[in-house]
Amino acid sequence: MPIAMIHIAEGRSEELKHQLLVNVTEAIAKSLGAPVESVRVLIQEIPETQWAAGGRTLAERKRSQA
């Protein structure tokens, strides 16, 4: 049973996350020759204040771009 864990920043719509789950499931099933029913995909959403690159959080980056 393949399992994929995807980390994304919070804020995307339920529709976008659902489409991500569908697309990743199909890609894994096709790549591994596994039944779609056996593929597990988990999304973990990280708050923008807890995701940083270069010492700046996503929230800080958004504020500076506004």
Catalytic residue numbers? 2
d(CA 20, CA 42): 10
First to last CA, the chain: 44
CB 58 within 8 A of CB 12: no
Q: At 59, is the secondary structure helix, strand, or coil?
A: helix
